[in-house]
Amino acid sequence: MGKKLLKQVVGPSTQRFQAITRTNIASQPDWQLISPADREAIRVVSEVFPFRTNRYVLRELIDWNRVPADPVFQLVFPQRGMLRSAEYEAVRSALEGRASPQALRELVTEIRFKLNPHPEGQLTHNVPTLAGRPLPGLQHKYRKTVLFFPAQGQTCHAYCTYCFRWAQFAGMPELKFSASGTDDLVEYLRSDPDVTEVLVTGGDPMVMKARVLRRYIEPLLVPELEQIRNLRIGTKAISYWPQRFVSDEDADDCLRLFEEIVASGRHLAVMGHFSHPVELGTSVARLAVQRIRSTGAEIRIQSPLIRHINDSPEVWSELWQQGVQMGLVPYYMFVERDTGARSYFEVPLAGALDIFSNAYNQVSGLARTVRGPIMSAFPGKVRIVGTANLQGERVFVLEMLQARNPDWVGRPFFAQYDPWAVWLDDLRPAFGEQKFFFEEELAEGS
């Protein structure tokens, strides 16, 4: 692509990445478009939840005429409702009373630990061991897939307000997953030939320079690890900084690495987090998608269903249809996890099922690769298949797409219909049963 055309696609104001955080947001022109009440909320809530965005998000994705209701504004700017009233007032009072840094830090830490920072056994059950030694920066919940958290990738181009990995960015080392190298990963993979897939995640691995990403990826491409058939990279860079694949100084180097992964015989899946169709609507995002796909990599669409952002069938059907038109594969609609500001963002399971079903009915078969709504719960990925009237009782029909015990996958089970339930823990077994079929085995293994 010629430099002139590239400049037109990328835009003169977005050629260089600049992080915007709570320390410099007031210097941005857009700050004046935010109401005083919302400015206060951003200042207070960002003491608890990490805040980071950039000029591309501010100028290309947010419709400032719709603020604060604009979905991308809700997606990246902290909102007052993300904290309970008492917690909000406590932090606000500490800031206004000029509490000491130590006192403010202790208050914020106390609030954070009440927010279930690492849900569903991430710290207690998912960390693998080798010769009795826990392996930092790795998680292994499902038999075939290992998650890898490279140290330099534990941040993002912008932070999602709903992020279930918010604790990675909170400046609390005891809550952070990260690995400084691949030695433990390679040794662990060699010890477990059942593993066929590695998901490189974060944070966002695509914040790393190509040469750093290469250092983490190349050890996985050696013939001795031919068991690894699939590599996934979890990223929101296509949404928040598509220049990463277009005009950053090492964009071409990054794409060459993707080509080498594919040439090694591995399948490369870029797990794109797209919360709203507006994220696919810019010319630079479309070009980023084209360039990634030209390497032989596949891009998949996944995101949670989030109140205030994408809680309508029309948003999801448009996202899936637009994605398919661009060559992307709709993959998962998740249920918001039970962590962080969940009470602000959650949608009841019954509502999530209605939204998914209505969106699914609006798209063609090419988009019906998508599965949902899905809870990434402690036992596994639980899909809400639908509702039914059985034996005189209205029930949720459920199944697991992934599970701690692979024998549980695909086995249907039933829960009492509850219109207000928001998570698996809120559900009760149907038909007078005392426990779901997997609960005893889980208890024995705890």
Burial class (CB in 10 A: 0-12, 13-18, 19+), 2: exposed
Token pair 């009072």 in the structure block, residue: 93
- What pLDDT, in 10s, does the model give residues 310-323? 999 999 999 999 99
Q: For the residues 383-401, what does the mean pLDDT come to?
A: 97
The answer on 165 and 104 residing in a single domain is no
Residue 390 lies in a domain: no
- What pLDDT, in 10s, does the model give residues 7-25? 555 554 445 788 999 999 9
1 pLDDT tier (thresholds 50, 70, 90): low
- What pLDDT, in 10s, does the model give residues 72-123? 999 999 999 999 999 999 999 999 988 899 999 999 999 999 998 877 777 7
Mean pLDDT, the chain, rounded, equals 93
The answer on 41 and 134 residing in a single domain is no
Model pLDDT, residue 336: 95
The answer on 199 and 78 residing in a single domain is no
Count of domains in the chain? Answer: 2
The answer to whether residue 272 scores a pLDDT higher than 90 is: yes
Domain that holds residue 241: 129-329
Lowest mean pLDDT among 122-131, 245-254, 432-441: 122-131
Residue 386 lies in a domain: no
Residue 322 lies in a domain: yes
Answer with the one of 268, 298, 329 that is the final residue of a domain: 329
The answer on 234 and 99 residing in a single domain is no
**Is omega for the bond preceding 81 within 30 degrees of 0, making it cis?**
no
Selected residue with higher pLDDT from 123 and 137: 137
444 pLDDT tier (thresholds 50, 70, 90): confident
Residue 25 lies in a domain: yes
The answer on 252 and 290 residing in a single domain is yes
Could you give the CA distance from residue 335 to residue 253 in angstroms, rounded to a whole number?
36
The answer to whether residue 140 scores a pLDDT higher than 60 is: yes
Model pLDDT, residue 13: 46
- What pLDDT, in 10s, does the model give residues 301-349? 999 999 999 999 999 999 999 999 999 999 999 999 998 899 999 999 9
- What pLDDT, in 10s, does the model give residues 156-215? 999 999 998 878 887 777 777 888 899 999 999 999 999 999 999 989 999 999 999 999
Model pLDDT, residue 2: 53
Residue 133 lies in a domain: yes
The answer on 153 and 96 residing in a single domain is no
- What 3 state SS string does the chain have? CCHHHHHHHHCHHHCCCCEEECCCHHHCHHHHHCCHHHHHHHHHHCCCCCCEEEHHHHHHHCCCCCCCCCHHHHHHCCCHHHCCHHHHHHHHHHHHCCCCHHHHHHHHHHHHHCCCCCCCCCCCCCCCEECCEECCCEEEEECCEEEECEHHHCCCCCCCCCCCCHHHHCCCHHHCCCECCCHHHHHHHHHCCCCCEEEECCCCHHHCCHHHHHHHHHHHHCHHHCCCCEEEEEECHHHHCHHHHCCCCCHHHHHHHHHHHHHCCCEEEEEEECCCHHHHCCHHHHHHHHHHHHCCCEEEEEEEECCCCCCCHHHHHHHHHHHHHCCCEEEEEEECCCCCCHHHHCCCHHHHHHHHHHHHCCCCHHHCCCEEEEEECCCEEEEEEEEEEECCEEEEEEEEEEECCHHHECCCEEEECCCCCCCHHHCCECCCCCCCCCHHHHHHHC
Selected residue with higher pLDDT from 446 and 175: 175
The answer on 253 and 172 residing in a single domain is yes
Lowest mean pLDDT among 5-9, 31-35, 397-401: 5-9
Residue 278 lies in a domain: yes
Residue 254 maps to which CATH number? Answer: 3.20.20.70
